[in-house]
Amino acid sequence: MTRAQTLPSPASKLVEPHPYPGRLIIVEGIDGSGKSTQIALAQRWLHARGFRTFFTEWNSSLLVKSASRMGKKKDLLTPTTFSLLHATDFADRLYYKIVPALKAGMIVLADRYAYTAFGRDVARGVSPRWVRALYSFAVRPDVALYFRVPVDVSLERIRRGRAKIKYHEAGMDLRLSDDVYESFRLFQGRIIQEYDGMVDEFGLQVIDASREIDDQQQQVRDLLGAALRDTSYA
Partner 1 sequence: MREPLPDGGDSDGRLPGGDPLRSTTPRSAPPLWLGEGLPYVNTGDLSGKLITIEGTDSSGRSTQMKGLREWLEVQGYGVVETGWTRSELMSEAINVAKAGHQLNRVTFTLMYAIDFADRLENQIIPALESGFVVLADRYLYTALARARVRGIDEEWVRALYGFAIQPDLVLYLKVDAETLIRRVLQGDGIEYWEAGMDLNLGEDPYDSFMAYQSRLLDVFDELSGEFGFRIVDGNRSIYEIQQDLRREIREFLDLEDTQGGVLEIEEFTRGPATGWSR
Which residues of the chain form contacts with partner 1 (CB under 8 A)? 1-10, 63-64, 66-67, 70-71, 76-81, 84-85, 87-88, 91-92, 95-96, 124-127, 129-130, 133-134, 136-137
Sheet (strand 23-28) strand order: 53-57, 107-111, 23-28, 143-148, 205-208
The region that residue 55 occupies, defined by phi over 0 for left and psi between -120 and 50 for alpha, beta otherwise, is beta
Q: Which is nearer to partner 1, 136 or 205 (CB)?
A: 136
Q: Would you say 21 or 125 has its CB closer to partner 1?
A: 125
Q: Which is nearer to partner 1, 79 or 141 (CB)?
A: 79
Widest distance between CA atoms in the chain: 57
For residue 198, the minimal CB distance to partner 1 (Å) is 18
Q: Judged by CB, which is closer to partner 1: 63, or 199? A: 63
- Are 178 and 58 spatial neighbours (Cβ–Cβ below 8 Å)? no
What is the spatial distance between Cα 223 and Cα 221, in angstroms, rounded to a whole number? 5
Question: Closest distance between partner 1 and the C-beta of residue 24, in Å?
Answer: 18
Query: Is 111 or 121 the residue whose CB approaches partner 1 more closely?
Result: 121
Min CB(201)–partner 1 separation in Å? 17
At its nearest, how many Å lie between partner 1 and the CB of residue 144?
Answer: 22
Closest CA to 72 of 215, 172, 216: 172
Instruction: Give the rounded distance of the alpha carbon of 51 from its chain centre.
Output: 22
H helix runs in 63-145, sequence order: 65-74, 79-93, 99-103, 114-124, 128-134
- Is residue 111 within 8 Å of residue 55, measured between CB atoms? yes
Q: How far is the CB of 34 from partner 1 (least distance, A)?
A: 30
> Cβ closer to partner 1: 191 or 207?
191
Q: Are 82 and 70 in contact (CB under 8 A)?
A: no
Rounded to a whole number of angstroms, the minimum distance from the CB of residue 67 to partner 1 is 4
